[in-house]
Amino acid sequence: MSDLVRCDACPVLCRIRDGRAGACDRYANQGGELVRLDPLLVAQRTLDHDGAMVPFLQSAEEWDGALVAGAESFITGVGSTTTYPDYKPAPFIVSSKAGGVDMVTVVSEGIFSYCGLKVKIDTDRFLGDEQKAVRCQGEQVGHVSTAEYGSQMLALGGVRHLTGGSKKEGAVTCQMMLDLCQGGAVELSVDDGAAVVVQAGQAPIVDGAHEERMRVGCGSATIGMFAPQWHGLADEVVVVDDHITGVLSEHQAGKFLDMPTAGVRVRGRRSTPGRYFQVAGHGDGWGGTDVTDPLSIIDRIEAKNAWPGLRLLMVSTTGEDSAYFVLDDDLAPVAAEMPASLRAVVDRIAENCEPALCSVLFMAGAGGSLRAGVTENPVRLTRSVRANVTRVSCGGAPVYIWPGGGITLMVDVTRMPIGSFGYVPTPALVAPIEFTLPLADYEAMGGYMDAVQSVDEVLASGVARSLPWRGENPWPLSSGN
């Protein structure tokens, strides 16, 4: 049994034989010594005389990850190892100077049982009713949340799915979250809804179709944006939308342009002039409805207001679907070739649509045990974060701290280094976290001053690998970010 070492990085307490790795594939036994398999990542930047990043560190394409002499360095939590529970100081408590101020960064890899993902999917296509179960490999891993402007939202993961269901549900939920956080593609399905492939920073695939663009706005907003450009080219424009369908001549924008009421009445519930709810069911047709024939949403054409020759444009909120009609002598709409001048405005709708993407935000609570690795009195860290004295980052990426109790954070996974996340089979995710503050404030909060080491000592230890600083992220050691 002498060739076994016990890993205390998480509650599983793996007993690892020489030359083997533990259950999480993050720690291994090398010659009787427990080692972290992945290197500690140090983010580095070099600046020119004007304070701009030099081109070499803006790309890692032809760079071997060696530390760059003379560069500013920030020790991230990626590969820093874990202390769990945090009955001892965090793995790295690093001092450095920034703008003449002595700073300290407390670095760790947190084990997060209380964590989840907020996923924004840019699409008008119907994914599923709110609160419907979202499944991966048949297991429920989350639910459909509120739809937002041009996007469908999913809430995935969370402690109830990780630990509150079956063992399989917890394992599938953990793997699904890990894959999404690491930039992988995951296939999800919604009960009574769509199948969707989600990958952070990539376009969603809904029921096998690649989404290209998110809508420019609801039907009413589209009317407001393009009404002056339609004026004189069409006598009526109907923008078909699952949420708010717009009718130009009734809309305030049409009244502003002195357009006469055209008498084209659409189905649905009229909210305010030119704005209609519930014109059709949900689906993957025009504007997120189940409509494939736009004329099906027209309830009637009023003879007292309409006239032969009336030019009618019907268009979706992305410009993907459009049709042009002219009323005949019986006031029936007849399909006609769309004039080039009108086609140009339809194309402009598409031009104003943002590319459809999936956004994945990791959300977690940094609890008492993790905070105890920073200070003997954990509530002081919480107060320091609340007072904006301590800056929190994940792999160097900026985070949003939710108001209220505790340290509940959200971070865009695409702004973190590749490979930032891991897992433990409890199950839970492992993610880097850094707390940066002035050294004097760290001492005042009861920090572990005996464990502080300089950034030069860490770099000289040989355990670190460098990566270039991402210019879109604020430098955590700078003031005023």
Give the DSSP per-residue string, 358-385. EEEEEEEE--HHHHTTTBSSHHHHHHHH
Mean pLDDT score across all residues of the chain = 91
Instruction: From 293, 298, 256, select the one nearest 273 (Cα to Cα).
Output: 256
Sign, Cα dihedral of 396, 397, 402, 408: negative
pLDDT category at 481 given cuts 50, 70, 90 is very low
Residue range 186-221, pLDDT digits in tens: 999 999 999 999 999 999 999 999 999 999 999 999
Residue range 427-470, pLDDT digits in tens: 999 999 999 999 999 999 999 999 999 999 999 888 888 888 88
Distance CA 289, CA 283 (A): 5
* C-alpha 332 chain-centroid distance: 47
Distance CA 239, CA 323 (A): 11
Question: Is residue 264 within 8 Å of residue 320, measured between CB atoms?
Answer: no
What three-state secondary structure class fits 256? Answer: helix
Between residues 64 and 255, which one has the greater pLDDT? Answer: 255
Distance CA 411, CA 63 (A): 27
Q: What is the mean pLDDT of residues 111-129?
A: 94
Looking at residue 11, what is its pLDDT? 75
